[in-house]
Amino acid sequence: MKAYLSLGSNMGDRGFLLEESCRCLEDHPQIDILQKSSVYVTKPWGVTGQPDFWNLALEIETGLSPLELLDVCQKIEHELGRVRIVRWGPRTIDIDLLSYDNREWKDERLILPHPRMEEREFVLAPLREIASGYILPSGRTVSEVRGEGEVSVLNPGK
């Protein structure tokens, strides 16, 4: 099954934490990373006055179910020392499921597709880079929609 993930970090060594998260995902026998976006430096969305985030998006192929995949993501967050005191506040690493096989899912642990992805440029910009034709919940493609918030590529041209 094809799934899209959004990763973000704004505490500690953000580059290392993103790389290490990708490595842990790739190490899982039932996860293959098909595409990885550039790293984007993004202004905090929701709660301002915290350090800038580094964000990226992944396209993966997985044999895991949505909840099994969520478990793996949360385990990696935990292993990389995730601390979150405030909702939308600073965190070492956040791994969010954006979509899974274009399926809809709604329970207390997981909502798919991610309900707030369309407003957020820190989610859309990396996704646009690896999946410009991806169809958002509104029916528009990710290349047609611009979200809120300032973003820039970390190492343009690298």
Q: Catalytic site residues? A: 82, 91, 94, 96
User: Which is nearer to ligand PH2, 45 or 134 (by Cβ)?
Assistant: 45
Please say whether the beta carbons of 101 and 1 come within 8 A: yes
Q: Name which of residues 96 to 135 contact Mg ion (CB under 5 A).
A: 96
Q: Name which of residues 83 to 102 contact Mg ion (CB under 5 A).
A: 94, 96
Q: Min. distance of Cβ 157 from Mg ion in angstroms?
A: 28
User: Which is nearer to Mg ion, 94 or 118 (by Cβ)?
Assistant: 94
Site for ligand PH2, rule CB under 6 A = 8, 42-46, 53, 55, 88, 94, 122
List the one residue out of 158, 114, 116, 123 whose CA is nearest residue 142. Answer: 123
Would you count residue 77 as binding Mg ion (CB under 5 A)?
no
User: Which is nearer to Mg ion, 59 or 94 (by Cβ)?
Assistant: 94
Q: Name which of residues 40 to 69 contact Mg ion (CB under 5 A).
A: none
Size of the site for Mg ion (CB under 5 A): 2
Backbone phi and psi for residue 143, each to the nearest 5 degrees, phi listed first = -75, -20
Alpha carbon distance 1, 89 (integer Å): 31
Q: Min. distance of Cβ 22 from ligand PH2 in angstroms?
A: 15
Helix axes 14-27, 66-79, angle to 10 degrees: 140
User: Which is nearer to Mg ion, 94 or 121 (by Cβ)?
Assistant: 94
For residue 155, give Cα distances in angstroms to 15, 17, 40, 121. 12, 17, 8, 18
Q: Min. distance of Cβ 96 from Mg ion in angstroms?
A: 4
The three-state DSSP-derived secondary structure of 27-44 is: HCCCEEEEEECCCEEECC
Given the rule CB under 5 A, which residues bind Mg ion? 94, 96
